[in-house]
Structure 1
């Protein structure tokens, strides 16, 4: 069975598993703290209404059988508990089959959440966590050496993440081909981080070099993952460095971190492997069967990557076993933000005392500097960025958000950085206005202390009150 095992990657497996457990913990914690306002029984897109419209076969989930906010909370916090156990190495204390079952639990729980999460869970890193999490079930524990087929499939996912992202850029916005996208991206990205202003102000020649290096990392380096060990380790290490650069430049939930964790599984750390017996026959059969299934399903993302009509971030099956990925096929040149305001006046007027709601991550007050939230995922803030791009993105949920603010709903207010109105005295009217935001210059920053300058564009939602 020497062909089946790769004992030299035992430390890489250990680092990968602990890193993945940490990301599971972040994902379940995000779900537990935000679900009531987003998809709860009184949420903006309630799960009970969704499961009445969509059959189980299209979105398999525990919540098709039963849903209550209490049951969802139990599932989310149970996911947190299992993730902590895996982070602490509980899978290594169990027999091989027990460790596999333990890894299966968070995958099944998170699949149940994603499949009823609707718009709030339509991000590529949700499917990526599920695809990687499913493979982790078959990676084994201290009883066996890392299986070669699973290690290969992890690299195959990493290849598709990077190469797919590179292709979508080259086929999409011409600024990627002209090496000019970073003249705009740091300013217009969904959720800037504390260093994004400084990245935007880097010299333009350096921006060109960044884009060129990105193309090399995403279009050339992924092929080296399947080279012999020293080359593959170097390729994975280069990807890790690139992803850490992206971590510093913005807030992209756990997308960068799960890519780093994937790359770590391809690194052969210089450490002597422990002596372990050969894998049991049943384990070999299961791993080979699952690997054959996933390779067979891979024809769909391959066809998508080869297509001139390549799409980003799509699942090809309801279990999210094999998916396609990509990011920023186009880059906005101008940043727009939807600013939500309320007033307690009986009759709303232009000169009324409109007070602004502040969100946790998205830009609002021009003087408030962005914070680092990733890998934690602020789902409402991200969707507000999409809403500013086009009102169509806000259609399913924005009206419900306004209604909850008019009610002073505590769960919804909990998603915000702060409310200008106490929960027991909500505003009489809510309005939303669209502003253009741009980063200030060095001189403006010194003179005003503001990192943003904003200009009113148009009305997004006229003054609205509760029926």
Structure 2
């Protein structure tokens, strides 16, 4: 009975499962559309590189055993189908004895399939929200289904994930960049974040005093509020509302894949059925205790999570705290944190091609447009969150250096564009060569800034830029000599 509060968490579980299924659905759609040109057989970082450089026990994945684009594509679409089943609550349609085991199987399959993408995706899947989705999704398998209430222990484990997510992010900011401590971080962040959206421009131009209040509020919500997740109601729900509001503002003003959306999903665990029925037009049904085997499994799970939490807790308490790190190949208990340092200057790589046989000072270069990152200064920033344009994010990181020596996949990108590879071109918003391929291609590095309100009114431009260097000098197909594995 200690593990079961039927009037408390049945609605919470339903809402949590449906919301998490949406995140999984999005993640698998992205994998179906982007994984193969990025990390498939002929990807910018080929799947064979993953197989050659890792042991299965280090980074287990179905694609280690079957490094094949057909298997990758089929797995992604199976994940889409399973996500739809989770979204519509399929396990609860089944007779009572089958609801819980089928639910567990469904969520464990989603976890295992997505683990295959994360562990094989190399640089393009090296983000903290990947591990966060896996950890959250694994716990979701033990919440049960049908008329039985969920084990309370698992709900508290979800709160523990949320706590590490938020508190880790708060501490790494306070320990990291000085601008978080002097409250000036948001003077830069909206302009220099990986992929700004239309609201980012307006947020950047808010008064400095408002930015100071924002940063102070950030510290309160990320460092102080998380302790209330474990408080009695209604304080836990108050903390959940504060967290959801904070994450909603981040979604409104930026694009961080599903990081903020997933944090909102985790925050559902801070509510209770009593709170939900008081604010929503829903009624919690009469529920029964979860099966004994599920209660026993939830206790075993709690012991495992406590044991695996030792390293993440040590990391959180360390002055040398690192962010977004998995401590086991299954990514069951991880450490999180974001934007411990703030970029002051925004650099962008502009990829350009030409059909001229010989490059001269008079050569006309035409730019490739990407789906998320800015290139055309007149292009309004795009709202994409929680969708994740993985190539665009990596281009943001690549632009921090004056050359691609830390981004070996970038030369492969140029190689594919020279060849007119359709799968690679599908990752872009537009290609300037409709019926031919470029003879030469180059990459130019620019500094980008948001325009002032006055200049945007006069010109309609969202950005202004200045060239700061050549990222890759003009090359043709023969110059690159890349191995296509």
Distance 2:245 2:354 in 1: 48
Shift of 1:333: 1.0
Q: Does 1:123 align with 2:123?
A: no
Of residues 45-54 and 395-404 in structure 1, the stretch that sits farther from structure 2 once superposed is: 45-54
1:97 maps to which residue? 101
1:208 maps to which residue? 212
Q: Does 1:373 align with 2:384?
A: yes
2:460 maps to which residue? 449
Q: Secondary structure at the residue paired with 1:265?
A: helix
Any conservation in 2 of the 1:7–1:146 contact (CA below 8 Å)?
no
Query: Residues 412 and 3 from structure 1, CA distance in 2 versus in 1: closer, same or farther, beyond 3 angstroms?
Result: closer
Shift of 1:393: 7.3
Q: Does 1:247 align with 2:251?
A: yes
Q: Does 1:160 align with 2:171?
A: no
- The two structures, once aligned, show a CA RMSD in angstroms of 1.2
1:171 maps to which residue? 175
Q: Which runs of 5+ in 2 are unaligned?
A: 278-282, 479-485
Q: Secondary structure at the residue paired with 2:234?
A: helix
Q: Does 1:418 align with 2:451?
A: no
Any conservation in 1 of the 2:6–2:289 contact (CA below 8 Å)?
no
Any conservation in 2 of the 1:32–1:73 contact (CA below 8 Å)?
yes
Shift of 1:277: 2.3
Q: Summarize deviations over 1:208-227 as a string: whole Å, max 9, x none.
A: 00000010000000001111
2:414 maps to which residue? 402
Counterparts of residues 265-414 of structure 1 (less than 5 Å): 265-268=269-272, 269-271=275-277, 272-390=283-401, 391=403, 394-414=406-426
2:84 maps to which residue? 84
Shift of 1:143: 3.2
Query: Residues 350 and 323 from structure 1, CA distance in 2 versus in 1: closer, same or farther, beyond 3 angstroms?
Result: farther
Any conservation in 2 of the 1:139–1:147 contact (CA below 8 Å)?
yes
Q: Secondary structure at the residue paired with 1:23?
A: helix
TM-score, normalised via structure 2 length: 0.94
Query: Residues 300 and 21 from structure 1, CA distance in 2 versus in 1: closer, same or farther, beyond 3 angstroms?
Result: same
Distance 2:387 2:54 in 1: 29
Q: Does 1:259 align with 2:260?
A: no
Q: Secondary structure at the residue paired with 2:376?
A: coil
Q: Summarize deviations over 1:95-127 as a string: whole Å, max 9, x none.
A: 211111111111110001111000000000000
Q: Which runs of 5+ in 1 are unaligned?
A: none
Shift of 1:148: 1.1
Of residues 3-12 and 383-392 in structure 1, the stretch that sits farther from structure 2 once superposed is: 3-12
Distance 2:73 2:82 in 1: 14
Any conservation in 2 of the 1:387–1:393 contact (CA below 8 Å)?
no
Distance 1:270 1:306 in 2: 34
Aligned length: 466
Q: Secondary structure at the residue paired with 2:215?
A: helix
Of residues 174-183 and 10-19 in structure 1, the stretch that sits farther from structure 2 once superposed is: 10-19
Q: Summarize deviations over 1:118-152 as a string: whole Å, max 9, x none.
A: 00000000000000000000011123212111111
Any conservation in 2 of the 1:253–1:376 contact (CA below 8 Å)?
yes
TM-score, normalised via structure 1 length: 0.98
Shift of 1:83: 0.4
Shift of 1:318: 0.4
Q: Summarize deviations over 1:134-171 as a string: whole Å, max 9, x none.
A: 00000111232121111111000100010000001000
Q: Summarize deviations over 1:340-368 as a string: whole Å, max 9, x none.
A: 10111111123201100100100110000
Distance 2:449 2:211 in 1: 18
Q: Secondary structure at the residue paired with 1:175?
A: helix
1:17 maps to which residue? 17
Q: Secondary structure at the residue paired with 1:114?
A: helix
Q: Does 1:230 align with 2:230?
A: no
Query: Residues 153 and 417 from structure 1, CA distance in 2 versus in 1: closer, same or farther, beyond 3 angstroms?
Result: same
Distance 1:328 1:79 in 2: 30
* Match among 113, 125, 142 for residue 117 of structure 2: 113
2:34 maps to which residue? 34
Q: Does 1:196 align with 2:200?
A: yes
Shift of 1:54: 1.0
Any conservation in 1 of the 2:353–2:365 contact (CA below 8 Å)?
yes
Any conservation in 1 of the 2:135–2:334 contact (CA below 8 Å)?
yes
Distance 2:396 2:2 in 1: 51
Q: Secondary structure at the residue paired with 2:120?
A: coil
Shift of 1:284: 1.4
Distance 1:181 1:371 in 2: 23
Distance 1:441 1:126 in 2: 36
Distance 2:7 2:436 in 1: 63
Q: Secondary structure at the residue paired with 1:389?
A: coil
Distance 2:332 2:3 in 1: 25
